[in-house]
Homo-oligomer: A and B are copies of this chain.
Amino acid sequence: MEKLQRNERIAALIKILSDQPNQIFTFNHFVENFNCAKSTLSEDVELLKGIVAKLELGAVETISGAAGGVKYIPTLGKEKIKQILSNLCTSLAEPSRILSGGFLYMTDIIYNPSVVDDIGKIFAGQFIDKDIHYVVTVETKGIPIAMMTARYLNVPLIIVRRDSKVTEGSSVNINYVSASSRRIQTMSLSRRAIKKNSKVLFVDDFMKGGGTVRGIIELMKEFESEVEGIAVLISTKEPIKKFINEYFSLIILNEVDEQESIIDLKPGIKFD
């Protein structure tokens, strides 16, 4: 390839790096592709670091050593997170969302790519230092959010099924009790899905009593693996005593008042 100008190299760098978040690219990869000197590339990377920091577009990090290189981290600034959360709360509190039985219609939000993209970035940002090997979710509604979280963490997504499927080969099945309905439910995951001794992040759209999470923790034990973190979009205030204690919840749902058509919710993150 002919020599590129600095403008061109910087644009290509940020595009390629941010298309594969949390993925280390060697300096040589770019030196060869851009047909430039390593010192020139180093200058480009330093410039780019400054640009993304100044404009709050995430972070560009260099890693030294044999496995070293440069990668893009999709962190969001505090103000941006505040704004996303505020928009989410406003949208989720629209009274027209109330369904009979006090349920909330929210698939238009949790299947909306640009909303889900933001939530995935926030979740990934929370757990990016935890050395997560897989993002795990249970079908169906949490899949888009889990998918974007996995994308930003640069790890595979695992979807636990409600029953075993012929297309997944031999599977591990467990039964567990749903905390809210007290009913027995089943989870199924292909034996091939997860390597032993893995750390997983569980992601879901909604958590009430935490029964599903407890089921996932048990299922992961069958794979000799561990739930290292739990991230949910919405958790309910009640019951206060859940099956699990530590989790990251973006929004807390206090109450849905069907009679008065009021949805009472608030951000689950405190900003100092």
A-side interface residues toward B, CB under 8 Å? Answer: 4, 6-8, 10-12, 14-16, 18-20, 23, 47-48, 51-52, 54-55, 57, 99-101, 103-108, 111-114, 116-117, 139-141, 143-144, 147-148, 150-151, 154-159, 161, 166-169, 190, 192-193
Q: List 6 A-B contacts (CB under 8 A).
A: A105-B167, A113-B150, A113-B156, A114-B154, A139-B139, A141-B167
A108-B192 in contact (CB<8A): yes
CA distance A111 to B148 in the complex (A): 11
- Given contacts A101-B166, A108-B193, A112-B157, 10 further A-B pairs with CB under 8 A are A16-B57, A23-B114, A103-B169, A105-B169, A105-B190, A105-B192, A111-B156, A113-B147, A139-B140, A143-B144
CA distance A7 to B44 in the complex (A): 10
Chain B residue nearest to A114 (CB atoms) is B20
A12-B151 in contact (CB<8A): no
A12-B107 in contact (CB<8A): no
Given contacts A114-B20, A143-B140, contact A99 B167 (CB under 8 A): yes
Minimum Cβ distance to chain B for residue A202 (Å): 15
A156-B18 in contact (CB<8A): no
CA distance A151 to B118 in the complex (A): 12
Residues of B within 8 A of A114 (CB): 20, 23, 151, 154
Minimum Cβ distance to chain B for residue A95 (Å): 14
Residues of B within 8 A of A99 (CB): 166-169
Chain B residue nearest to A12 (CB atoms) is B55
A140-B167 in contact (CB<8A): no
Minimum Cβ distance to chain B for residue A79 (Å): 13
Residues of B within 8 A of A157 (CB): 111-113, 144
A166-B103 in contact (CB<8A): yes
B190-A156 in contact (CB<8A): no
Minimum Cβ distance to chain B for residue A85 (Å): 18
Residues of B within 8 A of A14 (CB): 11, 14-15
B8-A11 in contact (CB<8A): no
A147-B143 in contact (CB<8A): yes
B113-A154 in contact (CB<8A): yes
Residues of B within 8 A of A193 (CB): 107-108
